[in-house]
A and B are shown apart, each in its own frame.
Chain A
């Protein structure tokens, strides 16, 4: 049963991710990206971390993608539609993409994940479903407090930067 759902979610995720880069209309790309993120949230549920799934939908699907849609609507549509499937940058992009793919493949096959193996029963025992939210909170505010705070500062810098770049001071004031 679980395997069936995993196949369903992951195949839809991969297909929609491919559609993001093959659709010519940017709005269609955004819609398939939403579908992709949603499927990733479903995969989080299968991995027994409902909190992450909720956060994924809340933050990525619910908030960030709405800004994407906004940006796409405000763009000049006709000119931004891709005319040909492969642009000039393909020559540079292709080797980088292949290299990244190989690295990820190495990590999966030979990295720490491969040694762990699949032990769904253990994972279930370790992570009681009712406690996942609490566990994440505990870890985030004790062990990983510094990275958490640094990320907040980085986000703040982003906000301030956006305001500085877009809001220009009126002359004479």
Chain B
């Protein structure tokens, strides 16, 4: 037993299982939270019937989805149709390998942390495209194509936003980026004298990458049925929903690490609070921001989305990188 506890491989496997369990478990309370927030924003109570204030609602929903028939449409590409939900979900789980929850709680402290997260995060798009194509349905295919175009456009903007942060920390390592923001909230990257513009770009691009309102045009109920997952039912549909939540959580966690100082405390006298508490609080705040936006903003039109991405966010990102460079450089 002691030999097992001492071996690196055991700990890597253990931490990976823990990360996967967290990502699979979190969407349950989050769906309840989202519906409650939606309800209160729209001046209604939200789910109330199942359990105290509807807390058991997600379990009832999960059971329903689990028991539903798994329908594969005629003419669908069977293998890709079945694989697509997993292709959408797995990258977001893989992202959590690199995100430091405190100075000790991480699976891997990668030297290329930020690059890894951006690279792997971009892969989930294949789940959406392939799901849309394999369904053999026009709406689903259009949803998939829209998702691809959206992802390509906003990944560039997100990359530029992150470059600003990397320049501040002089490192791709996530721990180094957190440590560069140590010493109170005035040192966080979100502050105007640091990377406020980058934070703005990052969040807008993050909304687009997670396919959340106001940028959920791949789903677009109004015009595309339900977009790329029109033909999905039961557990496979649930996996797509899970992927969306995982995306939201991972982008929130990433924003907390890159811009909100990660696991460092906002003010000096609160240093005794463990880092992981700060990390969780910051991530939850960002998740709340996602949900808040969802129920207060309408959906953008496709061409508006593209204009915003290419003509506004990317030039702004380039300008931010140049200006940051001027301040960071050693004269």
In the complex, the answer to whether A73 meets B141 with C-beta atoms within 8 Å is yes
- Which residues 149-194 of B sit at the A interface, judged by CB distance below 8 A? 149, 151-152, 155, 172
Cβ proximity bits B100-136 to A, threshold 8 Å, 1 near / 0 not: 0000000000111001101110110110011001000
B-chain residues with CB within 8 Å of residue A63 when the two chains form the complex: 122, 152, 155
Classify the interface of chain A: helix, strand, loop or mixed.
helix
In the complex, the answer to whether A57 meets B112 with C-beta atoms within 8 Å is no
Classify the interface of chain B: helix, strand, loop or mixed.
helix
Q: A27-B80, A66-B151 are in contact. Are A55 and B115 (CB under 8 A)?
A: yes
A: residues with CB less than 8 A from B are 25, 27-28, 31, 34, 50-51, 53-55, 57-58, 61-63, 66-67, 69-70, 73, 129-130, 132-133
In the complex, the answer to whether A50 meets B111 with C-beta atoms within 8 Å is yes
In the complex, the answer to whether A130 meets B111 with C-beta atoms within 8 Å is yes
12 contacts between A and B (CB under 8 A): A27-B80, A27-B130, A28-B80, A31-B130, A34-B126, A51-B112, A55-B115, A58-B119, A62-B123, A66-B152, A67-B152, A73-B133
Q: Is B145 an interface residue (CB 8 A)?
A: yes
**How many residues of B sit at the interface, in one of the four size bands?**
20 to 34
| A53 and B112 alpha carbons, distance in the complex (Å) | 10
Q: Is B148 an interface residue (CB 8 A)?
A: yes
A-chain residues with CB within 8 Å of residue B119 when the two chains form the complex: 54-55, 57-58, 61-62
Cβ proximity bits B70-82 to A, threshold 8 Å, 1 near / 0 not: 0000000100100
| A169 and B303 alpha carbons, distance in the complex (Å) | 22
Q: A27-B77, A133-B111 are in contact. Are A61 and B123 (CB under 8 A)?
A: yes
B-chain residues with CB within 8 Å of residue A129 when the two chains form the complex: 111
